[in-house]
């Protein structure tokens, strides 16, 4: 059973890696364009700390900020060499075996921080995070080459991004459920009304009233009734009169 779970989690992780390279993004800082006094971009960028999505609760926002900081220090905080960012995780891993065990312990602390969100992490997401740090530990056991591969894989950064994606989806779901709960009884969602407009037949009005007299049900289920209009005689100020039945041909 455990082997099947491990295989399922491994496939999911590889699928995420193929879909987008989440380990290449800085979890703690972001680059923003610099604008001049005239409001035009100068072509330069500056680094600043990433903001917390407003949709998150205060507690989950603090947890996400803490996990971002831990992942950045372990994976990217020290120096850049040949386009690869190195953090404390890579430096500690240089020490054979003992360094890899310490690195595994630090990565486990990151996952523990992720589990402190409101409601905790779902088991499937927790397995994916543990798979990331175990795979990172296995790669790091290879002397020298494993340390470089460890710096490229960045298990802590992957887990930080997985946490952020989960928190945003969870907050959006809770917000939608809260809005549905606060909606007055009998009021239907706007989206459902729009779907009904697409599915229900739209009543049509004939250009020539005499063609559709007394034929077919209207939109509310009652028979159509034509309204006759009698025009006033020329030279009089009497307004036109209306009747439920159109005047017969030749009538006045």
For the stretch 189-239, pLDDT in tens is: 544 454 444 444 444 444 344 444 444 444 444 434 444 445 555 555 555
For the stretch 107-117, pLDDT in tens is: 999 999 999 99
Give the SS3 label for residue 138.
helix
For the stretch 5-51, pLDDT in tens is: 445 544 554 455 444 455 567 787 887 888 888 888 888 888 888 88
pLDDT recorded at residue 225: 46
pLDDT recorded at residue 238: 58
pLDDT recorded at residue 105: 95
Q: 93 near 140, Cβ under 8 Å?
A: yes
- The DSSP output letter for 158 is H
Percent of the chain with pLDDT over 90: 30
pLDDT recorded at residue 40: 82
Question: Which residues does 27 contact at the CB level (< 8 Å), separation at least 6?
Answer: 50, 67, 68, 71, 72, 75, 157, 160, 161, 164
pLDDT recorded at residue 103: 92
The predicted model scores a pTM of: 0.62
**Which of residues 162 and 147 earns the better pLDDT score?**
162
For residue 49, give the H/E element and its range. strand 41-49
DSSP 3-state helix, strand, coil percentages of the chain (rounded to 5)? Answer: 50, 10, 35
């Amino acid at each position: 059973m455990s082997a099947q779970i491990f295989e399922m989690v491994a496939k999911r992780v590889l699928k995420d890696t193929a879909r987008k390279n989440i380990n290449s993004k800085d979890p703690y800082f972001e680059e923003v364009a610099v604008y001049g006094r005239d409001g035009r971009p100068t072509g330069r960028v500056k680094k600043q700390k990433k903001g917390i999505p407003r949709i998150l609760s205060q507690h989950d926002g603090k947890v996400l900020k803490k996990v971002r900081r831990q992942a950045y220090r372990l994976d990217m905080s020290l120096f850049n060499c040949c386009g690869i960012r190195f953090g404390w995780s890579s430096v500690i891993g240089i020490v054979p075996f003992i360094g890899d065990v310490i690195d595994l312990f630090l990565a486990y602390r990151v996952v523990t921080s992720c589990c402190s969100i409101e409601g905790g992490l779902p088991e499937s997401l927790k397995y994916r995070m543990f798979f990331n740090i175990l795979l990172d530990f296995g790669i790091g056991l290879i002397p020298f080459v494993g340390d470089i591969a460890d710096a490229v894989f960045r298990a802590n950064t992957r887990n930080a991004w997985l946490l952020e994606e989960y928190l945003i989806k969870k907050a959006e779901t809770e917000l939608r459920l809260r809005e549905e709960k606060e909606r007055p009884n009998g009021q239907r969602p706007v989206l459902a009304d729009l779907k009904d407009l697409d599915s229900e037949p739209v009543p049509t009005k004939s250009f020539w009233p005499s063609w559709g007299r007394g034929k077919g049900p209207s939109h509310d289920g009652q028979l159509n009734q034509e309204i006759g209009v009698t025009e006033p005689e020329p030279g009089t100020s009497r307004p036109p009169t209306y009747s439920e039945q159109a005047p017969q041909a030749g009538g006045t």
